[in-house]
Structure formats: structure tokens, C-alpha cells
């Protein structure tokens, strides 16, 4: 007599078919200023694709160095072109996957309870301002942008002695939040997410330095297919909407 | 090595020396109390003193940051009363180095005191000396080698301090940049050669300090 | 002299030291097997240990009284102590050791002067003044320790086995010094020893201490 397979076997088959075909995990090294926006984008992406995104946020300079030394990253999302150029020079990225669509602008911020008024960057030379927090102006993109801008206004030599360099732009933000410095220069997008600081003065995009966030696939990635999928998603309308929500400028 | 690099070496050396001298009276007092007396809460204090030795230095640095920042319990008072800032100045470096090397000083000094025959202190008392005189004329001279050894170890620890310092003083070139912080920054910048110069000096200084420290600690209490 | 050691109770590792006695003779020996508590008793009298209960009084001065909580510190008791290991300060010269507790104006009860000259003269140690304590012979160390205690002008001298580590030849040399201390300075002494010969020459009276208790002296 022909035996019918037990109903449990059918159930198991259905269950297996319902699961996403392959759940992969990729690692994204990204600039600190992208923390909140990327996390939100990744959460939405994970739901639909079933893949998992693991992030390593930090100063682009530090991340670039780590990738150069062979750190296991699949995607690098930098806060300036220079760091990506360095990696390209050392043949660490896949040039055809490189895209630069994101931009940002700078803002001068003060602790939420501060009484200082700052109309423009020139006010930074004021004696009342003793300490200015910046991401390291020699290495970290946010600090470099700020320094370039201040140098262009011939203010850099006057304020250089007041600078308190931090490891990345979020650390500069934290320094302002703690009240241990009088003023900080961070991205407008960073200023937007913190309630413990207020924006004293925004640097208009036209005046400020040309900020650009390139993203690319890392050559030694072990999950190129999955990574390319995510890169593609970063280019999508949904992702652009999220970036825009946080204050980034998305170039077409 | 450039002028700036020598400046960093000089700064590191003098702030480490100053921090060792600053913690010395506290270290001696703590070591003496732990060596010679039993009192309630003693083991709690012993553990507290040892904490910076075992905790991650950045954790200790965070505690210091919370206390000494402009909004902290101590830093806030100093800032509002005297317009004095600690965080992000050499004073923060001094305090970070002092806190991190304090346990080493207390340990070595305590052993030095414990090695002084208590009978000598007792007899000194029968000869009419009060506690302070006994401490200065008997205990301290006989423990002096161990104390010097402890100071050198503390100095060596201060030289190499990084985690707590970077939390509480940052790495401000020309103001709070110590050897270890400068090495870190050079590595970040990709300036490995410069990092190696500083590394070499760092190793030499640490070697001299530890070697000297062990020399004093190894020998028995000396007499003139 | 009158040394009252009343209702003394001091728990030691294996038994409790319990003494209740009054000592009036100038030189009294405390004999007994080792571990009997003799050193602990001297420590109590000198004020180096705190008893569970005791009334210790020297002449008209109450030194320890647990009933009232009175405990005169060792530095104020004016009791000289020569411990068994001598406890000479190794980092100081002989002279500095001798002068450590020296009070130049000191006099005993009956007016004797404890001057540096006199004491070093009696014990014949003037020539040792600048020497390092560490390199002295056994006999020299003994005399320096004695002199150091004497130079504080004490009212009572405690000696813990002063001749224990000396060979018989040296003992014979030191005993006259002790006799001199008794005679020249008129100083009451409590003398711990386990050697009956020393007692015979020097002491007027003996106490026998065994397992923390005083029993009748087996003469």
C-alpha cells in the first residue's frame, strides 16, 4: 500500500521554502557622521532582503587605515574623497563601484545652555571662546573641512591654539554636549540629532568647503554579490529619502 | 628627531615626574595605614586603591572626566569659583598619570614599610618618640629603598599612560600631547617613521625607569 | 619602688596571661620556660600592648587601668626597655642610637644623673660612638642597648633575657655592668631570664611564670 508522507513533512518543506534563499552578512565601514542615517537604512534593507549589515563607524581616516591593513570590510563609506583616493591608490577598492552622491554642510554648535552668540565664523576669534572642539584637523575629514574653511577666511592661525582635537566628528559633538568646550564645528547633520547642543551658526553650502561622501566596494570583500546589492540599495529612492531626512544633501 | 618631538619627550618626562612627586605623600600615608594598622573598611580601601590597576584605563579616564569636567562635581566647582579648567589641560594629564600610577606606588611602599621590623618602632616609642618622630626617624629611613623603587615604578607607569589620559586631556599638540598619545596620532596619520622615533625614546625611558625601580626594590633596606 | 600588676588578663595564642602581683624589691627576676608569656608581660608594663584587663601602677602613677580606660602611651611611661633582640637602629651610628631618647636633665628618684658621660663611662662604650651598630660584637651591642635605655633616665628598667645570646665568657663580663647599673644608678629592674645563675648574683627576688600564671618560685 502506498504510504502518504506525513503532514509534518509538508509543513517542514513549506517552512524551508518560505525562508529567504541565502541570508548573508556584510560589514560596512562608514564615517561617524553617517551613524544614524545608515542604521535606519540598513534596518529597512534587512527586512526586505534578509541580509544582515554589520557596521563599523569611526573617523574615515582611521577606517581607511584599517582597510589598508587588511581589515575585513565589504564596503567603505568615507566622508571625503581623499581617503577613498588613498585606498584606490593602494588598490583596495573596486573603482567601478565608486559613487559620490552624498554631501553635507558645516555648522558651529554650542552647548544647549550656552549664552554665547556667534553670527559667523569670525566670532571664533573672540576671547570669550577659549576652546573649540574639532575632529582632528590633520586627519579626520570633518576636521579637515573645518580647517580648510577657516584657513580660507584667514582665521585658522588665530584660532589654532584654541582647538581641542578629537578622534572623530561625533567625539567633537560629545565634547560640546559635555560643556567642556565652548564651541564645536561639526556637520549640520550631527547638530540635528543632538538635543544637548544648539546650532549657533550654519555655514552655507555655497561658502563652505565642498563636502563629498564617496562609497565603494572593498576589493578583498568575501561577499561581493551581497555587498553590491546593498550598494545598489544605497542608490535607491528609499535610501535617498532617509539621507534627506537627516539633513544630508543627495546629488542626483 | 624634530624640536616638536623633543618637546613631547620633555613634556612627558616632567609631567610624569611631577605626578609621581604629587602622589608621594598620599601614597606614603595610604601605604603606612595599610601596613601598620587594622581598621574597619580596610579591605574595601585596599580594593579601591587597586582598581586603576585592573580596570580598563579608559574606564578610569571616563570616571575622571565625569568628575573633573566643567559640569563635574569637582571640575564644575573649580570652573565656577576660580575659572580654572582641568579637562583638556596639562593638569588633567597630571591627574590621570597620578591616579593610574598610584596603586603601584602604594603596593611597593607598603611592602617597604612591612619589611621594617615593628620592634624597632616599638622600642623607639619606649625611648620617648611620638608617632610622627618614629615615622620620620625610623620607619621612613629604613623603608627608603623600597620607597624610591616604588616611585620609579610609578614614574615608569606614568610615562606609558594612554587610556585615561586621552579621555581626560585629549591629544592637544603642544599642550597635552604625551609620548604615547603622539605615537598613536602618528600611527593614525600613517607617519610610521615618526612613530618609530618616539617609540624608541619611549622604550629607552621606560627601560631606565623600570630597571632603576627593580634595582632599589631588590635590595634589602639599606643603612648608612 | 612599688610596681603593681593587678588583675592582668592578656589572651595569648595558647593561653591567657593572668597575673596579679605587687613587686617591691629593687631587682626582681622573672623566670620560666620559653613561651610562658614573660616577654608579653614586659610589653604590657612598657605600654606596648593593650591588655583585656589590667591595673598597672608604678609608684604613684597609674599607667594602665582598663576599668577607667586609662592607658599612658609608651613614650610617656619613662620605662626603659632592653628587648631580647636588642632592637638597635641599624641605620644610625652608636652615638645616634644612644642619644635617641636622651634627656639631659633626667634624674632618677634619688637624684642620680643619667648623663651621656656617666653612662658611657660605666658601660665602657665611649670608643664606640661613631661606629656603625651593625658591625659591633655581641657584647658591645648588649652594652649599647643597655646604655640607650639608661639615657632616657627611666624610673624602671625592663630587661628581656639580656645575656641569652652570649657565651659564658661574655656573660661573665656583662654581669658586672648590670651590677653597676643596680648600684650606681639605683634603678629598679625587672629581669627576665631562664638562667638561675644570673638570678643568684643580681636579683633579690624571683617570680616564676609558667603558662601565663605566676607560681611560687622553685628556688
Tell which wins on pLDDT, C154 or A183: A183
Q: Which chains touch A (3 or more CB pairs under 8 A)?
A: B
- C-chain CB neighbours of B223 within 8 Å are 90-91, 132, 134
- B-chain CB neighbours of C87 within 8 Å are 117, 119-120, 122-123
Quick: pLDDT tens for B115-149: 999 999 999 999 999 999 999 999 999 999 999 99
Q: How confident is the model at residue A73 (pLDDT cuts 50, 70, 90)?
A: very high
Residues B99-124: what's their mean pLDDT? 94
Show me where the domains of chain C are located. Answer: 3-215
* Structural domain range at position B47: 3-218
- B-chain CB neighbours of C73 within 8 Å are 125
What pLDDT shows up at residue A10? 66
ipTM summary value = 0.88
What pLDDT shows up at residue C216? 62
Tell which wins on pLDDT, B18 or C114: B18
In this model, does residue C112 exceed pLDDT 60?
no
Q: Which chains touch B (3 or more CB pairs under 8 A)?
A: A, C
In this model, does residue C96 exceed pLDDT 90?
yes
Report how far residue C155's alpha carbon sits from residue A167's, in angstroms, rounded to the nearest whole number: 73
Question: What's the pTM?
Answer: 0.78
**Portion 151-190 of B in contact with A at CB < 8 A:** 170-173, 185, 188-190
Q: How confident is the model at residue C217 (pLDDT cuts 50, 70, 90)?
A: low
What pLDDT shows up at residue C219? 45
Quick: pLDDT tens for C170-192: 778 778 888 888 887 778 899 89
Do chains A and B touch, with touching meaning 3 or more CB–CB pairs less than 8 Å apart?
yes
Give the minimum alpha-carbon distance from C216 to chain B in angstroms, rounded to a whole number. 30
Q: Which domains does chain A have, with CATH numbers?
A: 22-103+212-250 (3.40.190.10), 106-202 (3.40.190.10)
What phi, psi does A111 have (nearest 5°)? -55, 150
Tell me which chain B residue has its CA closest to the CA of residue A134.
B172
Q: How confident is the model at residue B187 (pLDDT cuts 50, 70, 90)?
A: confident
Q: Which one of C74, C90, C149 has the shortest CB-CB distance to B125?
A: C74
Q: Is B224 among the domain residues?
A: no
In this model, does residue A63 exceed pLDDT 50?
yes
> Which residues are paired to C22 by β-bridges?
C4
Q: Is B146 among the domain residues?
A: yes
Residues B150-170: what's their mean pLDDT? 91
- Structural domains counted in chain B: 1
- B-chain CB neighbours of C80 within 8 Å are 126
Nearest of A170, A162, A186 to residue A108 by alpha carbon: A186
Report which DSSP code applies to C75.
G
Task: Give, in degrees to the nearest 5, the angle at Cα C209 between C208 and C215.
Answer: 60
Domain of residue B104, CATH code: 1.10.3720.10
In this model, does residue B10 exceed pLDDT 90?
yes
In this model, does residue B185 exceed pLDDT 90?
no
H or E element in which residue B206 lies? helix B192-218
**Portion 74-133 of B in contact with C at CB < 8 A:** 117, 119-120, 122-130
Quick: pLDDT tens for B35-83: 988 899 999 999 999 999 999 999 999 999 999 988 889 998 998 889 8
What pLDDT shows up at residue C108? 53
Q: How confident is the model at residue B217 (pLDDT cuts 50, 70, 90)?
A: confident
Report how far residue A226's alpha carbon sits from residue A74's, in angstroms, rounded to the nearest whole number: 9
Least confident of A137-141, A162-166, B183-187: B183-187
Give the minimum alpha-carbon distance from B50 to chain A in angstroms, rounded to a whole number. 28
What pLDDT shows up at residue B224? 35
Nearest of C134, C101, C131 to residue C116 by alpha carbon: C101
**CATH class of the C3-215 domain in this structure:** alpha beta
What pLDDT shows up at residue C110? 54
- Interchain proximity B172–A65, CB inside 8 Å: no
Cβ-based neighbours of A89, under 8 Å, separated by 6 or more: none
What pLDDT shows up at residue A35? 93
Do C144 and C94 contact (CB within 8 A), yes or no? yes
Q: How confident is the model at residue C120 (pLDDT cuts 50, 70, 90)?
A: confident
Q: How confident is the model at residue A206 (pLDDT cuts 50, 70, 90)?
A: confident
Tell me which chain B residue has its CA closest to the CA of residue A113.
B71
The whole-chain average pLDDT of chain A stands at 90
In this model, does residue A196 exceed pLDDT 90?
yes
- A-chain CB neighbours of B86 within 8 Å are none
- Interchain proximity B188–A65, CB inside 8 Å: yes
Query: Does B67 lie at the interface with A, CB-CB under 8 angstroms?
Result: no
Q: Which one of C43, C48, C101 has the shortest CB-CB distance to B127?
A: C101
What phi, psi does A200 have (nearest 5°)? -85, -35
How many residues are there in chain C? 219
- Interchain proximity C148–B126, CB inside 8 Å: no
Amino acid at each position: 500500500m502506498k504510504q502518504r508522507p506525513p503532514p509534518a513533512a509538508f509543513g517542514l518543506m513549506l517552512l524551508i521554502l518560505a525562508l529567504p534563499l541565502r541570508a548573508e552578512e556584510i560589514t560596512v565601514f562608514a564615517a561617524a557622521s553617517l551613524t544614524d542615517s545608515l542604521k535606519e537604512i540598513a534596518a529597512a534593507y534587512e527586512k526586505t532582503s534578509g541580509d544582515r549589515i554589520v557596521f563599523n563607524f569611526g573617523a574615515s581616516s582611521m577606517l581607511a587605515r584599517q582597510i589598508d591593513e587588511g581589515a575585513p570590510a565589504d564596503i567603505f563609506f568615507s566622508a571625503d574623497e581623499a581617503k577613498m583616493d588613498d585606498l584606490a591608490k593602494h588598490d583596495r577598492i573596486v573603482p567601478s563601484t565608486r559613487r559620490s552622491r552624498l554631501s553635507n554642510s558645516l555648522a558651529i554648535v554650542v552647548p544647549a545652555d550656552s549664552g554665547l552668540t556667534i553670527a559667523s565664523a569670525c566670532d571664533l576669534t573672540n576671547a570669550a571662546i577659549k576652546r573649540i572642539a574639532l575632529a582632528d584637523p590633520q586627519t579626520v575629514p570633518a576636521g579637515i573641512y573645518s580647517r580648510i574653511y577657516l584657513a580660507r577666511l584667514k582665521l585658522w592661525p588665530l584660532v589654532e591654539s584654541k582647538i581641542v582635537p578629537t578622534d572623530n566628528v561625533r567625539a567633537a559633538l560629545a565634547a560640546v554636549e559635555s560643556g567642556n568646550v565652548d564651541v564645536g564645528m561639526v556637520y549640520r547633520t550631527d547638530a540635528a540629532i543632538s538635543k544637548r547642543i544648539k546650532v549657533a551658526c550654519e555655514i552655507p553650502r555655497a561658502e563652505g568647503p565642498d563636502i563629498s561622501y564617496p562609497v565603494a566596494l572593498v576589493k578583498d570583500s568575501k561577499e561581493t554579490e551581497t555587498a553590491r546589492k546593498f550598494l545598489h540599495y544605497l542608490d535607491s529612492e528609499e535610501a535617498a529619502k532617509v539621507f534627506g531626512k537627516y539633513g544630508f544633501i543627495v546629488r542626483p | 628627531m624634530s624640536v616638536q618631538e623633543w618637546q613631547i619627550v620633555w613634556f612627558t618626562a616632567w609631567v610624569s615626574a611631577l605626578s609621581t612627586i604629587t602622589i608621594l605623600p598620599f601614597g606614603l600615608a595610604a601605604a603606612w595605614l595599610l601596613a601598620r594598622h587594622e581598621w574597619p573598611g580596610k579591605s574595601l580601601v585596599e580594593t579601591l586603591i587597586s582598581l586603576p590597576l585592573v580596570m580598563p584605563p579608559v574606564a578610569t579616564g571616563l570616571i575622571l572626566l565625569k568628575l573633573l569636567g566643567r559640569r563635574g562635581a569637582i571640575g564644575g566647582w573649580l570652573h565656577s569659583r576660580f575659572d580654572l579648567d582641568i579637562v583638556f589641560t596639562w593638569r588633567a594629564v597630571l591627574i590621570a598619570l597620578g591616579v593610574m600610577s598610584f596603586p603601584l606606588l602604594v603596593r611597593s611602599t607598603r611592602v617597604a614599610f612591612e619589611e621594617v621590623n615593628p620592634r624597632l618602632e616599638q622600642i623607639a616609642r619606649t625611648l620617648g618618640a611620638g608617632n610622627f618622630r618614629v615615622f620620620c626617624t625610623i620607619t621612613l629611613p629604613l623603608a627608603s629603598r623600597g620607597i624610591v623603587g616604588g616611585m620609579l615604578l610609578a614614574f615608569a607607569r606614568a610615562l606609558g599612560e594612554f587610556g585615561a589620559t586621552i579621555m581626560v586631556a585629549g591629544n592637544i599638540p603642544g599642550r597635552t600631547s604625551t609620548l604615547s598619545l603622539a605615537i598613536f596620532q602618528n600611527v593614525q596619520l600613517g607617519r610610521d617613521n615618526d612613530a618609530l622615533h618616539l617609540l624608541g625614546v619611549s622604550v629607552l625611558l621606560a627601560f631606565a625607569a623600570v630597571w632603576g625601580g627593580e634595582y632599589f626594590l631588590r635590595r634589602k633596606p639599606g643603612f648608612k | 619602688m612599688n610596681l603593681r600588676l593587678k588583675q592582668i588578663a592578656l589572651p595569648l595564642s595558647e593561653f591567657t596571661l593572668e597575673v596579679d602581683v605587687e613587686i617591691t624589691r629593687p631587682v626582681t627576676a622573672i623566670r620560666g620556660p620559653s613561651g610562658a608569656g614573660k616577654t608579653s608581660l614586659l610589653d604590657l608594663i612598657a605600654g606596648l600592648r593593650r591588655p583585656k584587663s589590667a591595673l598597672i601602677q608604678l609608684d604613684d602613677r597609674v599607667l594602665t587601668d582598663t576599668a577607667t580606660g586609662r592607658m599612658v602611651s609608651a613614650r610617656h611611661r619613662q620605662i626603659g626597655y632592653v628587648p631580647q633582640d636588642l632592637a638597635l637602629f641599624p641605620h644610625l651610628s652608636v652615638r645616634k642610637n644612644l642619644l635617641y631618647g636622651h634627656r639631659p636633665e633626667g634624674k632618677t628618684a634619688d637624684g642620680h644623673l643619667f648623663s651621656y658621660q656617666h653612662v658611657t663611662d660605666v658601660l665602657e662604650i665611649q670608643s664606640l660612638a661613631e661606629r656603625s651598630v651593625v658591625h659591633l660584637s655581641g657584647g658591645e651591642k648588649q652594652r649599647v642597648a643597655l646604655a640607650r635605655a639608661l639615657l632616657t633616665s627611666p624610673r624602671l628598667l625592663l630587661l628581656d633575657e639580656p645575656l641569652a645570646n652570649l657565651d659564658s665568657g661574655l656573660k661573665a663580663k656583662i654581669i658586672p655592668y648590670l651590677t653597676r647599673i643596680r648600684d650606681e644608678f639605683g634603678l629598679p629592674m625587672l629581669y627576665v631570664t631562664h638562667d638561675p645563675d644570673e638570678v643568684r648574683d643580681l636579683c633579690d627576688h624571683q617570680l616564676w611564670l609558667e603558662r601565663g600564671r605566676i607560681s611560687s618560685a622553685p628556688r
